[in-house]
A and B are shown apart, each in its own frame.
Chain A
């Protein structure tokens, strides 16, 4: 019995004249697609008797064929290339944004530079004005500047270096294998806790007002974007810092980064580090309170809040 013979009375159907519709009549479309996939034109052309043509006619047909074929090839290939290439408008806006970024970064660099020059100028003027008149005040100012991180410092210390992990697949970068703002925060906090007196990340000096944060994939210290590799320099008592840092959560964190995310890290001591100053920081809201109000007001506030 054939699979199509479903009448139940196999013999009568086989011998009878009644035309039994095939059981898969409703599938004719699929059958057509699946069982005759090759263009019917090929079979017809092969079955057609060959027409005798003159050499000129044959040459003409061949030329037309060639031209059409070349055109089709060009069209298909350009379609493929167009599908593979990113959309032009996207590329355009991207280059525009890139240009803007470069431009603005250059602007920011220039401003930063003039800021530093002006700070140096101010320092020089202050020195001139104060040294002669009030050496004690000048010394105090010097001390305060040093403590607040607005001037450059020099001294022995630790250097911690981190870099983004080498991506195993360039197309798919696991963000966890990149150094993140939280990593730098933990390390710098660990260094402060270990007794660092001054810290700079990639040359950006950290002060009481500094922030390490993330903007998209970039890490910003204050407002300056950093690029890998990251170098954290801390000035302080090398021996004491090393011991304290090794015991801290930050050291653990470094080990975790290397072990789990293949982020290369290194910790070494340096006999002499020079950290740039952060320039003058401006306080917009905080001001020195009056002496008598200060003592009473401060305690009042603490009491109520």
Chain B
């Protein structure tokens, strides 16, 4: 639970301080946000499954964001940045969808 609390605090601090992101990192932001969403939904589902774990949540969050950004970076270097971004978005999108469906089944039993 500490991890969730920390994330919320961090988000509030982020809103309050509104730090500027270096221009060099701008291209990786959209994918990083989608990856963060995926980790959030995964964590929520694990919470409902009763297997939630702070460390796993944080590690999956961090690695998701870093790997997603890395993939886009590699894609940019290879000249297939947009295609790889699409691939990442598709995979993460499917995961988010099925996690959201599982959460929905948990909450509404439907």
Contacts and interface: CB of A to CB of B under 8 A. Distances in A.
Interface of A: 30, 33-35, 37-39, 41-43, 45-46, 61-62, 65-83, 88
Contact of A37 (B7, B52, B59, B99): B99
Interface residues of B, number: 50
B55 A45 contact: yes
B68 to A, nearest CB: 11
Contacts of B99: 37-38
Closest 4 pairs (CB-CB, A-B): A73-B10, A69-B6, A77-B14, A70-B10
Contacts of B49: 38, 42
B60 A82 contact: no
A81 to B, nearest CB: 6
B70 to A, nearest CB: 15
Interface string B21-57: 1000010011011001001001001100111111110
Given A46-B53, A76-B11, A81 B18 contact: yes
A33 B42 CA distance: 12
A135 to B, nearest CB: 74
9 contacts: A34-B94, A42-B49, A42-B51, A45-B55, A68-B3, A68-B58, A76-B65, A81-B15, A82-B21
A71 B10 contact: yes
B14 to A, nearest CB: 3
Nearest to A33: B94
Contacts of B78: none
A106 B59 CA distance: 59
B84 to A, nearest CB: 16
Contact of B5 (A38, A46, A69): A69
B74 interface: no
A81 B26 CA distance: 11
B6 A45 contact: no
B41 to A, nearest CB: 8
A30 B90 CA distance: 11
Nearest to A41: B56
Nearest to A70: B10
Interface in B46-100: 46, 49-56, 58-62, 65, 91, 94-96, 98-99
A35 B98 CA distance: 8
Given A38-B45, A69-B5, A72-B62, A33 B21 contact: no
A46 B46 CA distance: 10
B9 to A, nearest CB: 5
A78 B21 contact: yes
A69 B7 contact: yes
A82 B10 contact: no
Nearest to B91: A33
Contacts of A42: 42, 46, 49, 51-53, 56
B2 A73 contact: no
A88 B31 CA distance: 20
Contact of A72 (B2, B7, B12): B7
Contacts of A68: 3, 6, 58, 62
A73 B4 CA distance: 9
Contacts of A46: 50-51, 53
